[in-house]
Amino acid sequence: MTMIDPFGRSIDYLRVSVTDRCDFRCTYCMAEDMVFLPKKDLLSLEELERLCTVFIEKGVKKLRLTGGEPLVRKNVMHLVRQVSRHLETGALEELTFTTNGSQLARFASELADCGVKRINVSLDTLDPEKFRAITRWGDLGKVIAGIDAAQAAGIKVKINAVALKDFNDAEIPGIMRWAHGRGMDMTVIETMPMGDIEGDRTDQYLPLSLLRGKLERDFTLTDIPFKTGGPARYVTVAETGGRLGFITPMTHNFCESCNRVRITCTGTLYMCLGQDDAADLRGPLRASEGNELLSRAIDEAIGRKPKGHDFVIDRRTNRPSVSRHMSVTGG
């Protein structure tokens, strides 16, 4: 069974935000004084598991748990263990995480035991002072220790860096060399106009076409068809032997091949990261013990998945394209 959207795309990738909370306050993602959702609005771990199971029954093959920071959700490993049963049956092909790495040292071996083979760690700088500045209070040492623990547990780590003009653009080659030297792929991501963050995003925005041009002065980049299920377009870097991905929602969107939908920790289904249209799944989830209402609500929502997003960052459009913060929808 597969879910097909109005444009013939097969929807087989689900990203689930298990919490809107985070132990960092990254400046391009959150306001410093973020107001988090009341606990009563959040789906319980059992409800999240039920939602995931229904999506897997409807053809989802890849499930990514995100946040906020997913590992700060209390008892999150209970959810991971429950969902990992679908890996054992073969109904689910991959269970992955996006994390800031702060809690990885605690959870890496348990994640590996649950069949998590691959994770993404968000890391925008290797300079401890700059790291503290951009995360507002994060500890780089803890993140590196988390990456060490994940690799020791046999989990493949990919580094995700948001490219920010005049902040880390000069550092990207060094981060890439470091990641590739440790056997990790790396992906660079354009900043996206989501949520008010107290700053001007036009000052942060760096088109990756410019970054790639700069990298090509020092590195030999060769396009390859490698895919992980997400939107990154990959190159190999001859000088490091590693892979570098570019996620370009702004300069070159990837909507034509979009195979994913997102669920927030309150049970709201977003068919597109860059559109406000959404479907409430918490209502049908709580309305009955059976999954028929929920299944119907999912079908109806997939039937309205849009062709693409309308992200814009320029001087005329100095406001977020969507009002919710990235931490609400899950990276």
**Is 22 labelled a binding residue?**
yes
**Is 258 labelled a binding residue?**
yes
Classify residue 67 by burial, with Cβ atoms within 10 Å: 0-12, 13-18, 19+.
Answer: buried
**Is 3 labelled a binding residue?**
no
DSSP letter string over 205-249? B--HHHHHHHHTTTS-EEEE----SSS-EEEEETTTTEEEEEE-T
Helix (H) or strand (E) holding 155: none
Distances in Å between the alpha carbon of 310 and those of 52, 251, 276, 294, 307? 28, 11, 11, 29, 10
**Is 96 labelled a binding residue?**
no
**Is 192 labelled a binding residue?**
yes
DSSP 8-state code for residue 38: P
Q: Can you tell me which residue has the tokens 């990261």?
A: 273
**Is 272 labelled a binding residue?**
yes
**Is 201 labelled a binding residue?**
no
* 278-280 and 268-270 strand pairing: antiparallel
DSSP letter string over 168-207? TTTTHHHHHHHHHHTT-EEEEEE---BS--SS-HHHHB--
Helix (H, G, I), strand (E, B) or coil at 84: helix
In the chain, alpha helices (H): 45-57, 76-89, 104-113, 128-135, 140-152, 172-181, 201-204, 208-215, 282-287, 292-302, 326-329
φ/ψ (deg, to 5) at 289: -75, -35
* 10-11 and 3-4 strand pairing: antiparallel
**Is 28 labelled a binding residue?**
yes
Q: Is the peptide bond before 68 cis (omega within 30 degrees of 0)?
A: yes
**Is 15 labelled a binding residue?**
yes
DSSP 8-state code for residue 44: P
**Is 52 labelled a binding residue?**
no
**Is 240 labelled a binding residue?**
no
* Binding-site residue set for GTP: 15, 64, 98, 158, 260-262
* Binding-site residue set for [4Fe-4S] cluster: 22, 26, 29, 255, 258, 272
* Binding-site residue set for S-adenosyl-L-methionine: 28, 68, 122, 192
* Binding-site residue set: 15, 22, 26, 28-29, 64, 68, 98, 122, 158, 192, 255, 258, 260-262, 272
